[in-house]
Amino acid sequence: MVRAIALVLLASASIESFATETKRIGSIEFEKCMAEGQRSVYAAWCGSLSVPENHNDPKSPKVDLALTWIPPRSQVEGAVPLVFLAGGPGQGARSSFPSIRSGLSKVGEFAPLLLMDQRGTGSSQSLDCPFSEDEIAALDASDRAVAKRLAQDCLSLYAGRALAHYTTDDAAKDLDLVRQGLGFSALNVAGVSYGTRLAQRYAALYPDKTRSLLLDSPVPSNLVLLSEHGRNLDFAINARLSACTESADCHAELGDTRAVLNELLDQLENSPTETRYRHPRTGEYHVTMVDPNHLISVLRMLSYQSSTAVMLPALLVSAKQDGFADILALNHIVVESMQEAISHGLQLSVICSESIPGLTQQDVDAEADTLLGTQLIEFSRSQCEVWPQKAVADDFHTLARHAIPTLVLTGEFDPVTPPRYGDIIVSGLQNAQHISVRGEGHGVLSVGCLPRLVGDFVETLAFPETECIDTRLSLPVFTGAHGWEP
């Protein structure tokens, strides 16, 4: 009996001890937690800050921003936090962090890492749209009525929310309230993909509060999102297929893979193919109809990362010889993780206010002759017919011009934010460096020696020597299921 009482007392003490593991940074209280990432967890401090949904009306309903604080591994007096902003638009920083954690490993030695889930994403009152698998498949289709219905269904879930106030500028204002709450005079601001737009917008609105900018796979601030997706994808796919043509071993094994792609598209245009394939995780069988739009969407998803992009030539030849089961199964892994991470409602709030009104007929005409065509533009237009929106600031699509130390990272074969975007960004800056990584796709922060170069930049604000990344060997193109030829 005494032993039982002792155990209860020990358990109570343990629970009480865990519950009191809190810390206050500025005016924001954090609690020790195991933060959830994409199928992983990591130790951190979790907190929140309530901000007005409408920044022009302090009495408007509040949005609770989810904040994650990761202390540095060594104590450095006066260290300025680095805030990480996730991509999408629609990804939460807390859940995305494991995918870029190694890229910020050197920064984490001397500076705290702050993760802010953008309003409407992750744990910041996410605007999720719970589509079924069939409805998700329709997102790549050309049925505009389906597009509008899906947006209307999602809209009905958030009748009490001011969805027009979930834009990039709203999130930038949120971030500055977080900075004030933490008690810091400035922040190092890092973004990946769409997160670079938010990072640049924060710097535009609060230049004296931005110590440095780290932009991985960036979007120029003067670019209208969606206006060049098709042309960028064509560039990336052509580069991957050309790599096979230029490799003697690959060309001998697979032949002209661009011609193979054209044959497959013609075949599917005349006769869409019902394909049965096995789910790569569950082992369950799925059946889907493959048409040209579906195949192009699959190629687009597989082009993002070099680890899957180098397989494209072999996958196309396999599809011609044996059907589409293998390429669909691989695509399922990529798409499933992406769909789990994206808040479609937040994505609509950003796109409908910031992109659709700015698209010109010239943009649409330029996309029409690409593999992707105008399907993303037209699909988004249909959804934005019912989704709330507001006008952007007059300077929103202005190319940034400032002297804030800025490091820009791009991948040579990125299908959505190609290296020329990095060139455009640095052309307007007085204190910037652009590093393009050979053979890589989208999101390069963790590649090779970049974590060390990034850490050196954030610590010293001096631009690094790049020989270690310039001479790095990229993945060779696959010639078959077992990789490349020796």
Omega cis (within 30) before 130: no
The maximal CA–CA distance of the chain, rounded, in angstroms, is 82
Please list the ranges in the chain whose pLDDT falls under 70.
1-20, 132-142, 336-340, 485-486
CATH no. of 21-127+166-223+397-486: 3.40.50.1820
For the stretch 76-99, pLDDT in tens is 888 999 999 999 999 999 999 999
- C-alpha span between 183 and 24 (Å, rounded): 11
Q: Report the DSSP beta bridge partners of residue 47.
A: 30, 67
Q: Where are the domains of the chain?
A: 21-127+166-223+397-486, 229-341
- The residue to which tokens 């990229």 are assigned: 474
Contact between 94 and 35 (Cβ < 8 Å): yes
Looking at the chain, how many residues does it have?
486
pLDDT at 214: 98
- C-alpha span between 231 and 368 (Å, rounded): 9
**Residue 471: both structure tokens together:** 């001479």
| CA-to-CA separations, 76 to 107, 188, 426, 437, in angstroms, rounded | 12, 15, 30, 31
